[in-house]
Structure 1
């Protein structure tokens, strides 16, 4: 056999699903869409059907439920993918409830075959196939009828020049024993569960013959457009290579927009680095991030800011408002949402590509943990690692802010123990000087690069952050207090 059979892949029309399947649905395959009640199985089937159906590729949808097709269509019409003009033209609905009540599986199979031969569809759906299985439990006169019916239906479906789908409600133990899971070429499993008052929906491609699908569970939402799937972010060799290249090319640096800070970093922030700015509330983290984005606009480098903690009205100071209004900075508002890490990353990457951004600000990691769907809290470090690795792997510079309670008795750089994922760390804190609070800043880390070890005063003025004198100008540190030898720096004596 010298010729290789090429199987055409059909696009599903479901955002993210083609990526999970390995490119699309194999044409003429026999597939099972299974899962728990209310998980989105029927909506997924309709979304695929309306995406593919046209006068040259018709679809046949069998319903075996007691409710009429009109009731099902009433709800499916609420989604934007629904096209009423295709019903009865490119899409036909057939109800098998009456045939199924007779308990004669040969009759049901004959009816399905007759309808397929008469309509010549390219797509065939049977919903809910579980109803067929349940009816066999009441058919005591035909032991083994259900298994024979499944085998015959599977053989018949594979002979049709159509891509077919069985839709049914199954649990995991049933999947291990049901023969339909063996016969199917592809199995798509949908689940939903309540996790700490939040509904979490997941999709998994258990099986797809002849192509490499993405394994594991992936989150999805049911929206007005139907299902939107967010494939799980994975740290690939490409991301690792990009991160490695950014380390060995540390001479490619970008200015921070704060006079004096570039020198403290050893010449600016290396492109592709993740910078963590930590400090207590009010220490100036968001102001530093604003200057970072404003400098990008001056350099012709668009930016993106993700608001995880504050609403846009709270976050957008005059400078940021101007940057957003002029299109220099894109804003991702997520502070009021409950998102998965994959959905967050999906929206961020889309905005980065749209803006062609070179600088990204995540403000803040503390807020990100709060808006993240509860099920991800237990693996917050892992989720954060995947997100930062993907973003820095795109070659953008990422500035992350994180609130950290000021403590004189210990030195920490992250409340999550996640400082390891940052390529550079800037620490801000308060100190008491002569009965007043003063702000100081230090560069704790710049991977692969020399940097200043000095702790320097800084002020927040109408022009932003201004770096002042080193703390070495003062002496007498006792129990976290400083004995002042000279007047603390002010905006008049700040040096760059």
Structure 2
């Protein structure tokens, strides 16, 4: 089956290569969801002199206004307008001649331009010009029969709601239906798209996040658990965290390709332990990726240099990639997708995510967070990539690893960093709560933060142990 690219690699992936050629597709969603932007990106990505596109606007938005805003996007090519992309305003035809005249005029324009691509925006607006449901169905049948007999890939854009899919006749005749939605997540807007229908064609199901940008749309396909998750070759090697005593507490280190989550209160050294993990890997020839929402690059450079590491040298040598995004602007779909892409392209063998709390806050629901994290952890395990994640707990002394999103049971290793107090003295402590498939020392050990990073010492004796429980 031949495909029509959407102009976006990720969206093509969702559609198994793009829209099927010569299909009739509905792009649906409430006003402001990005339907027109997507339709225009598709036609400008495909239109050529021998395969022109015909864009018909009805009564939803004035044509001159549409063209004015279109110029703000990278996909707009003014040289194509009037040469391979043809616009026609059909509002007067509808108002003066009605629905049947509109349909006849559409077919005349199709014969005149012989397009490979056709957009009618808004198609739903045609309902307002129908005298009866019978007339609309008759006109719809005439249009769809005519278009189906021609080599045209058509896009019917409309402000449809989800409950209209089962009741309006155009959805029955359409080969494909894509819904775009705009949700409120806290103070942020979150956009998602999903494929409702794709006749005779495979597609990636579920909700996929996207953003409107200068390139039109940036799509972040829903992360799926890899098909190899049930059976894949395990790497029978251990990795070093860079903290010698901690490595000795877990049978000479954690398994390579394992996931580790470090819980702890503010200021206890979670990020520092993660940096040990990354720079030890670089020392051993393993490329690393730091994905952070905590410290911006300038702050991280200062922190890293304070412990004797050279962040810039590691980046310049190609051994380290730094990915920072503000926790205010982060979306879990985009973040996880970016980490996945960057890890693959850079060949990273160790990944530090700092922190899970920011990711959980960016998710529209706890269920979506769990799904994403499970799929991501499994994907990294299947590739043999070692994953290190930080998570902050609230209490300084009564440390608890009970979380709302259940991350500890997904992880192979759980490390707890906390504080102990004895009368007027406060000390930092570290313990290993869980190490899947490995013998480990369950003792609580003292550690200090020095100019060279973390230094783990002996076990505590006769101190008040923290209250700690699992999920």
* Counterpart Cα distance in 2 of 1:406 and 1:115: 69
Mapped contact 1:365–1:400 kept (Cα < 8 A): yes
Alignment gaps of 5+ in structure 2: none
Closer, same or farther: CA 186–480 of 1 in aligned 2, 3 Å: closer
Larger Rg, first or second structure (1 or 2): 1
Match of 2:324 among 315, 330, 333: 333
TM-score relative to the length of structure 2: 0.91
Task: Give the C-alpha shift of residue 96 in structure 1.
Answer: 1.5
Match of 1:376 among 361, 365, 369: 365
Q: How does 1:22-101 map to 2 (within 5 A)?
A: 22-65=16-59, 68-101=62-95
2:205 — aligned with what? 215
TM-score relative to the length of structure 1: 0.87
Task: Give the C-alpha shift of residue 67 in structure 1.
Answer: 5.2
Closer, same or farther: CA 27–470 of 1 in aligned 2, 3 Å: same
Q: Is 1:268 the equivalent of 2:253?
A: yes
Mapped contact 2:421–2:464 kept (Cα < 8 A): no
2:273 — aligned with what? 288
Task: Give the C-alpha shift of residue 478 in structure 1.
Answer: 6.0
Q: Is 1:427 the equivalent of 2:430?
A: no
Mapped contact 1:278–1:414 kept (Cα < 8 A): no
* Counterpart Cα distance in 2 of 1:18 and 1:354: 19
Closer, same or farther: CA 311–148 of 1 in aligned 2, 3 Å: same
Mapped contact 1:127–1:168 kept (Cα < 8 A): yes
Q: Deviations over 1:99-129 (max 9, x none)?
A: 1112443322221112111211111111111
2:173 — aligned with what? 183
Match of 1:149 among 139, 144, 166: 139
Alignment gaps of 5+ in structure 1: 1-6, 482-496
2:459 — aligned with what? 470
Q: How many residues align?
A: 461
Closer, same or farther: CA 430–105 of 1 in aligned 2, 3 Å: closer
* Counterpart Cα distance in 1 of 2:79 and 2:328: 36
Q: Secondary structure at the match of 1:277?
A: strand
Match of 2:450 among 431, 455, 461: 461
Q: Deviations over 1:412-447 (max 9, x none)?
A: 365754211110112222223563222222222211
Q: Deviations over 1:322-370 (max 9, x none)?
A: 3335442211112344333221111101211222100000111123333
Q: Is 1:348 the equivalent of 2:342?
A: no
Mapped contact 2:208–2:222 kept (Cα < 8 A): yes
Q: Is 1:440 the equivalent of 2:421?
A: no
Closer, same or farther: CA 367–144 of 1 in aligned 2, 3 Å: closer
Which moves more between the two structures, 186-195 or 200-209? 186-195
Which moves more between the two structures, 375-384 or 301-310? 375-384
How large is the RMSD of aligned CA atoms in angstroms?
A: 2.3
Task: Give the C-alpha shift of residue 320 in structure 1.
Answer: 5.8
Q: Deviations over 1:9-36 (max 9, x none)?
A: 1221124211222221111111111111
1:324 — aligned with what? 315
* Counterpart Cα distance in 1 of 2:311 and 2:107: 63
Closer, same or farther: CA 261–467 of 1 in aligned 2, 3 Å: same
* Counterpart Cα distance in 2 of 1:117 and 1:59: 12
